[in-house]
Amino acid sequence: MIEKIVVLEVVLPLLAAPVCVLVRHPRLCRLLSLGVVAVCLAIAVAVLLEVRGGGVISYQLGGWPPPLGIEYRVSTVNAYLLALVTAMALVVFSFDSRGGPPRVPEPRRHLYYAVFLLCISGLLGIAITGDAFNIFVFLEISSLSSYILVSLGGHRRAVLSAFYYLVMGTIGGVFFMLGVGLLYQVTGTLNLRDIAARLEPSLDDRGTVLALALLVVGVSIKLAVFPLHHWLPNAYSFAPPKVSAFLAATATKVSFYLLAMILFTIFGAPFVFEELRLQAVLLPLSILAMFLASGAAIFQTDLRRLLAYSSVAQIGYMTLGLSTANVTGLAGGLVHLFNHAVMKGGLFLVVACLLYRVGSVHIDALAGIGRRMPLTAAALVIGGLSLIGVPGTVGFVSKWYLVSGVLERGWTAAAVLILLSSLLALVYVGKVVEAVYFRKPAETQPIDHVREAPLGMLAPAWVLAVAAVFFGLTTNWTYGVAREAAELLLAGGI
């Protein structure tokens, strides 16, 4: 049964978007998108349960068998991503932002939900499809809709940030398209598994190496790997807070999956990491991201910018897990996808609560807010502790396996650097916590009128905060699945 409806993961949100345009009623559209996302989550969880332990679901679109037709192929890796994206989408959608993004007037609000649904559809499509050009199409669907979502932020710089994001994203997309084209030239097929099988004899071909380079650079732009991250801090800090929470929790995660899939499934770990030695580039860049982006986060005065720079640093941890190319390290990187989504999504939802009540998330404006909004501030602290990697939170789990993976590889220095970079996280989280709890509010900005955030906002933020602790204590689900996914990727399957 489940293998017959797996395609609904993409189709439901894709078709709910035009329905929103026709309905033109904001509240109905919100309910519709919540319902669609909930159904998608249910399907994703069912699929994950089905494929765990090495199962594969293959769906032939239009009844055309692969490699000619487009195949949707779900294994543990994809199912993990599907569940992650839909779960985060559900939490973010249930967040009641009380009036939507600032620049969307009431009569146009239905379009906002339509764009949101398209973005989800694109992200799920990337995760589910087994066709190289199909990935490009879904990549552009999700990217185009995220440019729109970013541009809806209240400040005028939101539009400028969205424009930068668009320029960078389009360049990345075209690189990806060229890479797919070269692969097609070399292998004559677009089906991912077919490409992988036919690439074997022509791995030394110059076209193959060029394709790898183009694909990696293209996806790295979308993923915001360190020197290509410039668009991310602006986009995340000027987007509407709900959008930042959603994008931080899902978009970069799907790009990471794409990068891992390209390296391990298409080209294969032996070629990429033993012959070309990609880790010689990836490892230094990851470590630079961890230090420079965390360092930049320390000097930010706006909480959203601080979190955005912290995201760049966290992406560094993920790519570090990628560059180890062993099961423990890669599983650490993959489990960090979920863990980072939970904590960063939660933190951006906290930011949305603070913005709603305080009106600003400048660190100085948050002085003493811990007394006025105790629950919001507590969620902020849990998320912050998780960013540092305190035992008992999800952040610890990821770092534990990352360090194990790095040590397995014999990179002692890198392991030490991971621990050192956590100290930087301690500094920037400490700075926020200090302001929120221990600093007296400024005379010019009285906070007597500030009350606790409404339940509709607080509940989703706390769901993620509780998840950050829960999955920090029980790792069977998260790490168990991530390890299985890592084994599958290293074996070259999806």
The residues binding other proteins (CB under 8 A) are 4, 7, 11, 14-15, 17-19, 21-22, 59-63, 103-105, 107-108, 111, 133, 136-137, 140, 144, 147-148, 151, 156-157, 159-160, 162-163, 166-167, 170-171, 173-174, 177-178, 181, 184-185, 190
The answer to whether 84 and 90 have CB atoms below 8 angstroms apart is no
Q: Which residue lies nearer to other proteins by CB, 176 or 479?
A: 176
Q: Residue 114's closest CA among 152, 78, 79, 87?
A: 152
Residue 189's Cα: distance from chain center in Å? 29
Contacts of 448 (CB under 8 A, 6+ apart): none
What counts of helices (H) and strands (E) characterise the chain? 22, 2
Least distance (Å) from other proteins to the CB of residue 70?
9
Region at 100 (left for phi over 0; alpha for psi -120 to 50; beta for the rest): left
Least distance (Å) from other proteins to the CB of residue 115?
11
Q: Which residue lies nearer to other proteins by CB, 144 or 313?
A: 144
Least distance (Å) from other proteins to the CB of residue 444?
17
The C-alpha angle 166, 105, 137, rounded to 5 degrees, equals 30
The answer to whether 89 and 346 have CB atoms below 8 angstroms apart is no
Contacts for 399-402 with beta carbons within 8 Å, 24 or more apart?
399/317, 399/332, 400/332, 401/321, 401/328, 401/329, 401/331, 401/332, 401/335, 401/479, 402/317, 402/320, 402/321, 402/329, 402/332, 402/333, 402/336
Least distance (Å) from other proteins to the CB of residue 75?
19
Q: Which residue lies nearer to other proteins by CB, 1 or 413?
A: 1
Least distance (Å) from other proteins to the CB of residue 294?
25
Q: Which residue lies nearer to other proteins by CB, 15 or 39?
A: 15
Q: Which residue lies nearer to other proteins by CB, 21 or 473?
A: 21
Least distance (Å) from other proteins to the CB of residue 222?
14
Q: Which residue lies nearer to other proteins by CB, 160 or 281?
A: 160
Least distance (Å) from other proteins to the CB of residue 327?
35
Least distance (Å) from other proteins to the CB of residue 170?
5
Q: How far apart are CA 159 and CA 153, in angstroms?
A: 8
Q: Residue 349's closest CA among 383, 299, 373?
A: 383
Q: Which tokens sit at 177?
A: 């398209």
Q: Which residue lies nearer to other proteins by CB, 118 or 334?
A: 118
Q: Which residue lies nearer to other proteins by CB, 188 or 270?
A: 188
The answer to whether 343 and 394 have CB atoms below 8 angstroms apart is yes
